[in-house]
Amino acid sequence: MRAFAVQLPSGCRYWTVLDEELRPHPDADAFLQHVRLGRDGAESTTQAYATSIALFLTWCAEAGIDWRDSGPRLSWFMTWLAVVPAARPGGSVRSRGPRRINAILAAVREFANHSVATGAASPGMLTALYQQDDDRWLPTELRRESGVRVSRPRPRHRLQAPITEAVPAGDDDVLAVLQACRSARDRFIVLALSRLGLRRGELTGLHRSDIHAMPDPTSLRCGIRREHLHVRRRDDNQNRAWAKSRRDRAVPMDRVVVQAYDQYLLESSECRAAAGCDFLLVNLFRPPIGAPMRVGAVNDLLTDLSRRAGLTVPLHPHMLRHQFATNLAEAGAALDETQDLLGHANPTSTQIYFHPSPDRLRAAVDRVPNPGGR
């Protein structure tokens, strides 16, 4: 079993699971189509699910187990994931850690939930995957007033994974990476990630018409004042760049980003092949010249810039986005402001960026008055 990308006649892409005879697995394919088309999930989501489900179905085939009856034996699958190393590009192998195993198990549970709902599997499979907890141990204030016991399903199979916080990029590291840039385009990419908080898919999916870099954009029939850009979700981007948020948003551009954008426009105007491309970021130095920039090229660029800058830990796009959110929090931005700027649908996704730094914790302690006012 292996994951495989499929492009529909409409141009929409999703990932499915093929068997040894290169035929789509019917139940897995139905689930992955539902994720992509029914839930409006991202192509990358179906890719992650397809990869995990392919591992699960491969293990079922090797163990001689029908996947519909695999619930009571899922602990064996966890052991198999931990023991059998994962192949990586270039022929290297790497063992799977608890976080990766839990992600695979989460995909299997989603697959099982959909299969039971559609009748492809019996409800007994969910009984093997989940255990029922209730609220009897909760404080009285958190229980239902009616006294009815509330049942909560909890996954039976989950490893204890270490809690690791996302590390933002440091201002000194960003400055070093900017100094290592050799083109105006690369400087604009670094600044757009670190000062606008864009995801890499949002940045590479921008079209020229999304940039309103003028103090009064009323001529563009836009009611938002001052310089800004619009993040829009598009399904037909030829570079498969994807804006994760379903809701369009406008992100203000400060003077530094606007200047970097103007310099990039002058640079790209010298490339004739780029004139006919509506995408903002295009290939200027590597073939295919004038084509939209790949999403993965942003990671490759930051890795190369980090190496030139002599950084011990290479930067990646999410570290710059995390730096933007952390700087907003330290500057006193409210939670709802940061949520809108980052394009989060749920405020809990934004709260992870509000963990205080050691300096802020020290300042909080220093603000506490001494006993007696001394």
The domain locations on the chain are 2-155, 171-354
Whether the CB-CB separation of 225 and 216 falls below 8 Å is answered with yes
State how far Cα 289 lies from the chain centre.
28
DSSP assignment string, 260-322: HHHHHHHHHTT-GGGTT--BSSB-SSSSSTTSBPPSHHHHHHHHHHHHHHT-SS---HHHHHH
Mean per-residue pLDDT for 319-341? 87
Q: Is the pLDDT of residue 351 over 90?
A: no
User: Residue 57 — very low, low, confident or very high, per pLDDT cuts 50/70/90?
Assistant: very high
Contacts 24+ apart (CB under 8 A), 91-100: 97/161, 98/159, 98/160, 98/161, 98/162, 99/161, 99/162
Distance in angstroms (rounded) separating the CA atoms of residues 234 and 144: 43
CA distances (Å), origin 248, targets 44, 113, 233, 237: 19, 31, 7, 16
Q: Classify burial at 30, counting beta carbons within 10 Å of its beta carbon; exposed 0-12, middle 13-18, buried 19 or more.
A: middle
Predicted local distance difference test score (pLDDT) of residue 163: 63
In this structure, how many other beta carbons lie within 10 angstroms of the beta carbon of residue 8?
11
Give the dihedral sign, CA 48/28/21/61: positive
SS3 assignment, position 75: helix
Whether the CB-CB separation of 182 and 267 falls below 8 Å is answered with no
Q: Is the pLDDT of residue 275 over 70?
A: yes
Distance in angstroms (rounded) separating the CA atoms of residues 24 and 21: 9
Mean per-residue pLDDT for 39-59? 91
355 contact partners, CB below 8 Å, separation of at least 6 = 165
User: Residue 137 — very low, low, confident or very high, per pLDDT cuts 50/70/90?
Assistant: low
Whether the CB-CB separation of 252 and 228 falls below 8 Å is answered with yes
Q: Is the pLDDT of residue 84 over 80?
A: yes
Q: What value does the mean pLDDT of the chain take?
A: 86
**CATH class of the region 171-354:** mainly alpha
Return the bridge partners of 282, or none: 292
What are 303's two structure tokens?
């890795």
Distance in angstroms (rounded) separating the CA atoms of residues 173 and 175: 5
Q: What is the pTM of this model?
A: 0.74
DSSP assignment string, 170-188: PHHHHHHHHHH--SHHHHH
CA angle, residues 94, 95, 101, in degrees to nearest 5? 125
User: Residue 214 — very low, low, confident or very high, per pLDDT cuts 50/70/90?
Assistant: confident
Question: Cα-atom radius of gyration of the chain, to the nearest Å?
Answer: 24
Q: Is the pLDDT of residue 331 over 90?
A: no
Q: Classify burial at 212, counting beta carbons within 10 Å of its beta carbon; exposed 0-12, middle 13-18, buried 19 or more.
A: buried
Mean per-residue pLDDT for 164-174? 79
Q: Is the pLDDT of residue 343 over 60?
A: yes
pLDDT in tens, 217-248: 777 788 888 899 999 988 788 888 888 777 88
